[in-house]
Structure 1
Amino acid sequence: MILWFTLVQVGVAVVAALLCVVLGLAGRRPSDLTVGALALIEVLLIAQIVVALIAPFAGNPPSGSLLEYWVYLVPAALLPPAGVAWALLERSKWSTVIMGVAAAAVAVMVWRMHVIWTVQIG
């Protein structure tokens, strides 16, 4: 994984999580802003999938378990669409909070993927 890209992903996910949770607790229903924040997270995760496919061939193999890395990456890529789908089906302030929780989970998962890729000795 690329450190600066990991930091960007984690930063965007944390900001989106805070935004969604604060707006949800303030009583706001899902909007273009909150759904767009999760869409941005999804675009970054799709880019991460591309990077993960190319990196081993470019001389950046993982030092940890590649299977464990993908077991984190695939569900992380499924969380934002699931959160948005929930928000669009149940348009309440709590669905906005749920989108924030999904974004926070993605932030943690992306950091864990970075640890698996760079720190562990396989």
Structure 2
Amino acid sequence: MVDGLTTTIQLASLALAVWCLISTMRGQPMVVPHLVALAALELLLIAQLVVSVVMLTGGERPPETVVFVSYLLTVVLIPPACAVWGFMERSRWGPAVIAFACFILPVMMVRLEQIWNPILV
């Protein structure tokens, strides 16, 4: 796991969550800029996935590899699933779905770090 990439993902996710919450409070539906920001976040998550897979195939392995891989795949699948759900919800609650997902991602990234480096936690 690359700490800088993990921190970038967490900060981007929290910034998107705040933006989506503001949109929810203003009663605005999800719009294309929300999707673009979510796509950028997804690209960061895919980069984390690629880096982690390269490290796993290179011989570095966390003690709980199966749990780590399942968390990693879940983290990558959350934004597209919530984008579809949020886009289908054409009311003010569409951005709320994205905000909820973006608050989950930093927590899951912390858990990935804990699984990868159990001694440091």
- Normalising by structure 1, we get a TM-score of 0.88
Give the unaligned 5+ runs of structure 2: none
Query: Secondary structure of the residue that 1:30 maps to in structure 2?
Result: coil
For 2:30 and 2:113, how far apart are their aligned partners in 1?
30
Does 2:60 correspond to 1:54?
Answer: no
For 1:7 and 1:74, how far apart are their aligned partners in 2?
18
Query: Secondary structure of the residue that 1:27 maps to in structure 2?
Result: coil
Does 2:92 correspond to 1:93?
Answer: yes
Which residue of the partner structure matches residue 20 of structure 2? 20
- Normalising by structure 2, we get a TM-score of 0.89
State the number of aligned residues. 120
The aligned runs of 1:1-122 (5 Å cut-off) are: 1-58=1-58, 61-120=60-119
Deviation at 1:58, TM superposition (A): 4.4
RMSD after superposition: 1.7
CA contact (8 A) 2:62 2:68 kept: no
Give the unaligned 5+ runs of structure 1: none
For 2:119 and 2:62, how far apart are their aligned partners in 1?
6
For 1:67 and 1:25, how far apart are their aligned partners in 2?
39
Deviation at 1:48, TM superposition (A): 1.1
Counterpart of 1:93, as a letter, is R
